[in-house]
Amino acid sequence: MIEGMEPEAVHLSQAEAIRDIAAILERVQQGAEVIVEKDQRLVAVIRPAARPGRLLSECIALAEARGSRATLDEGFGKDLEEIIRSRREPLDGPRWD
């Protein structure tokens, strides 16, 4: 999908969605939004999950493009792994109320 463009919308009946969920998920992974309807009433909208933040490679590219002179030392990877290991629970748990 091209950034700034609306995602492709695919309309399916509930019966069609039940028959081929694998194909639906494939379309969603390609950027499509799938609208599931029953008797022409909205049942669900399935869209690609939002990516939280940026990839490290994107951050490095942005820093370089902005002229940053920051460098990653030898312990950076180890430090990052420790941060990830120490934070296994969600930042803010689900709220079902």
**pLDDT tens-digit series, residues 36-61:** 999 989 999 999 887 677 787 888 88
**pLDDT tens-digit series, residues 1-18:** 444 445 678 899 999 999
Contacts of 47 (CB under 8 A, 6+ apart): 7, 28, 33, 34
In the structure encoding, which two tokens stand for residue 39, read together? 């008797």
In the structure encoding, which two tokens stand for residue 63, read together? 């820093």
In the structure encoding, which two tokens stand for residue 43, read together? 């049942």
**Under a CB-based contact definition with an 8 Å cutoff, are residues 58 and 78 in contact?**
no
**Single pTM value for the model:** 0.47
Mean pLDDT value across residues 59-68: 84
DSSP 8: P
Q: In angstroms, rounded to a whole number, what is the distance separating the alpha carbons of residues 51 and 30?
A: 14
**pLDDT tens-digit series, residues 68-80:** 877 777 887 787 7
The answer, yes or no, to whether residue 94 has pLDDT greater than 80, is no
